[in-house]
Amino acid sequence: MQVLLIEDDVSLAQGLQTSLKREGFSVNHLREGKSALSSVATSEPDIVILDLGLPDMDGNEVLRQIRKNHSELPVLILTARNTIEDKVTGLDNGADDYLAKPFEIDELLARLRVLERRLSSLKHADLTVGDVSIDTRAQQVRVAGIDVDFSRREYMLLKMLLENVGRVQTRDSLESKLYSWGEEIASNAIEVHIHHLRKKLPEQFIKTVRGVGYTIKPQ
Ligand code: CA
């Protein structure tokens, strides 16, 4: 389990590194937000521990940047800012947990273990119906045991249908989840994606519910 520790207090960081390593985490420590952001992109940590008061940018901005590309990366904020407003802001920006300094190392370790457990259940979050399965962690679709490439929107669409097996998804609801507000959408966009999806899936896997939308039947 690779932890990225973003903390400008060097002596605190050193103590944390020692404790985390003793617990079996591998730790990469950086003192600044910008270098941490590039490290998130290149070294793909499993968990981030994020201080808010950083020398070059605010930790909340670091968090917002992380969330743009890494929606599922667990982030624990570890900070001296301890008001309710601070906590709400951090959590609303996408933190998974928030621990105020001063803190007990045992509590931090326990919280990291919670994030670790959540991560490993996510890693095994496979959705399977009949011959079709998706690995939601790797965002990989497999049909009859063979990896098949899907565009991002095709993948999202298939995932939404698989998560709602047996329920009809209306075109409007699929559209609203697939596209951002204000994005230009062709009136037949969903039909076109479904058409492409069907070419890659077993016959009759996605059923059309005339005038309403689409569904995948349990198998
Ligand atoms: Ca700091």
The CATH number that applies at residue 182 is 1.10.10.10
- Residue 26 — pLDDT band, cuts 50, 70, 90? confident
Distance 39 CA to ligand 1 centre (A): 18
Give the domain-ending residue among 121, 155, 189: 121
Other beta carbons within 10 angstroms of residue 76's beta carbon come to 20
Give the domain-ending residue among 93, 121, 149: 121
Same domain, 33 and 111: yes
Same domain, 13 and 111: yes
Same domain, 103 and 178: no
Report d(CA 77, CA 95) in Å as an integer.
7
Distance 2 CA to ligand 1 centre (A): 21
Task: Give the pLDDT score at 206.
Answer: 97
Same domain, 139 and 43: no
User: What's the Rg (C-alpha) of the chain?
Assistant: 21
Same domain, 114 and 138: no
* Chain Cα centroid distance, residue 74: 8
Same domain, 93 and 190: no
12: domain CATH number?
3.40.50.2300
Same domain, 109 and 139: no
Report d(CA 87, CA 98) in Å as an integer.
7
Distance 6 CA to ligand 1 centre (A): 9
Backbone CA torsion sign across 159, 160, 162, 163 = positive
For 151-170, the pLDDT digits (tens) are 878 988 998 899 888 999 99
Same domain, 157 and 203: yes
Same domain, 179 and 153: yes
Cross-strand pairs, 58 = 53
Residue 127 identity:
L
Neighbours of ion ligand 1 (CB under 5 A): 8, 51, 53
Same domain, 117 and 129: no
Count: domains in the chain: 2
- Residue 77 — pLDDT band, cuts 50, 70, 90? very high
For 88-147, the pLDDT digits (tens) are 999 999 999 999 999 999 999 999 989 988 876 665 578 899 999 998 777 789 999 999
Residues 6+ apart with CB under 8 A from 103: 78
Question: What residues make up the domain containing 175?
Answer: 125-215
